């Protein structure tokens, strides 16, 4: 893990808060262990394009962006509807020099999916991390599915909340699911399973 990212973590005073043994930078950023998992997943599968819904302060994008930098390949489109969050994330991303790897989009995630329909995508996404409003997980999954690679991975945050659980149950053929017992829950499936 790069010193720059570790430095940000230290400045933020990572502490354990509300989710048992899981560390958090704050109540909105994914658990630190999830950030490490995303970093490792990107290092492992080396996607050319990554989609993230819900940038917040940019930490999950930064961890995946660092993995892209080390992979020497891969770019992230991170979508955030709140202008103030986009500004904060942009600053954090600049601080760690990951502007080349991460594009921030100030948009509603579902509107961004509509916009993608108008683009001619050369590369489809190899990985999507869905972490915006938990009420939108299923809608986002359906909206972004056409833009995913045949073997792409979907990672759903907050899979242990009843709201998200109910939505995931509506996705057909759940044979390929993995549901990790993290603080807030992290569920993964692969496109080829559908
Ligand atoms: C849990 S935070 C994301 C944390 C971030 N992924 C991380 O781990 O560093 C959720 C973010 O999603 C944003 N959000 C909520 N609804 C959205 C939508 N419809 N489209 C895009 N962003 C949205 C919120 O403004 C908030 O910043």
- Render pLDDT for 127-146 as a digit per residue (tens, 0 to 9): 999 999 999 999 999 999 99
Residue nearest to atom 1 of ligand 1 (CA): 28
Mean pLDDT lowest for which of 11-15, 23-27, 32-36, 153-157?
A: 11-15
Average pLDDT over residues 91-120: 95
Q: Which atom of ligand 1 has the smallest separation from the CA of 57? A: 9
**Cα–Cα–Cα angle for 46, 140, 5, rounded to 5 degrees:** 45
Residue 187 pairs in a beta bridge with 156, 179
**Maximum pairwise Cα distance, the chain:** 44
**Residue 107 has what DSSP assignment?**
S
- Distance CA(67)–CA(153), nearest Å, equals 16
pLDDT at 68 over 80: yes
Q: Which atom of ligand 1 has the smallest separation from the CA of 62? A: 9
- Distance CA(159)–CA(174), nearest Å, equals 14
Average pLDDT over residues 94-119: 95
Out of 18, 32, 34, 81, give the residue to mutate to test ligand 1, the one with the largest number of ligand atoms within 8 Å of its CB: 81
On average, the pLDDT of the chain sits at 90
Strand order in the sheet with 75-80: 102-106, 75-80, 49-53, 125-130, 148-157, 186-190, 178-180
Q: What is the pLDDT of residue 119?
A: 80
**Cα–Cα–Cα angle for 47, 53, 54, rounded to 5 degrees:** 130
Q: Which CATH superfamily is domain 3-193 in?
A: Vaccinia Virus protein VP39 (3.40.50.150)
pLDDT at 87 over 50: yes
Q: Is there a contact between 161 and 171 (Cβ–Cβ < 8 Å)?
A: no
Out of 55, 57, 111, 129, give the residue to mutate to test ligand 1, the one with the largest number of ligand atoms within 8 Å of its CB: 55
Please give the structure tokens belonging to residue 11: 């400045």
CA 155 to centroid of ligand 1, rounded, Å: 14
Residue nearest to atom 11 of ligand 1 (CA): 54
DSSP 120-160: --SS-EEEEEE-S-GGGHHHHHHHHGGGEEEEEEEEEE-TT
Listed by start position, the domains of the chain span 3-193
Q: Is 79 in the pocket of ligand 1 (CB under 6 A)?
A: yes
Q: What is the pLDDT of residue 48?
A: 97
Q: Is there a contact between 150 and 191 (Cβ–Cβ < 8 Å)?
A: yes
Please give the structure tokens belonging to residue 30: 């994914």
Q: Is there a contact between 156 and 137 (Cβ–Cβ < 8 Å)?
A: yes
CA 134 to centroid of ligand 1, rounded, Å: 9
């Amino acid at each position: 893990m790069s010193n720059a990212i570790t430095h940000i973590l230290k400045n933020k005073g990572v502490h354990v808060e509300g989710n048992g043994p899981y560390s958090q930078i704050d109540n909105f950023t994914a658990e630190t262990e999830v950030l490490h998992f995303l970093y490792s997943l990107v290092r492992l599968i080396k996607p050319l394009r990554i989609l993230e819904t819900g940038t917040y302060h940019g930490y999950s994008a930064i961890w995946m962006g660092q993995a892209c930098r080390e992979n020497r390949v891969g770019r992230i489109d991170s979508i955030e509807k709140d202008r103030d969050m986009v500004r904060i994330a942009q600053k954090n991303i600049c601080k760690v020099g990951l502007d080349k790897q991460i594009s921030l989009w100030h948009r509603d995630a579902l509107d961004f999916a509509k916009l993608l329909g108008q683009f001619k995508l050369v590369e489809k996404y190899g990985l999507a991390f869905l972490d915006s409003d938990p009420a939108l997980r299923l809608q986002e999954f359906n909206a972004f599915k056409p833009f995913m690679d045949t073997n792409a991975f979907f990672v759903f945050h907050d899979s242990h909340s009843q709201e998200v659980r109910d939505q995931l149950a509506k996705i057909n053929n759940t044979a390929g699911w993995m549901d990790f017992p993290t603080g807030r829950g992290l569920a993964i499936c692969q496109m080829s399973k559908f």
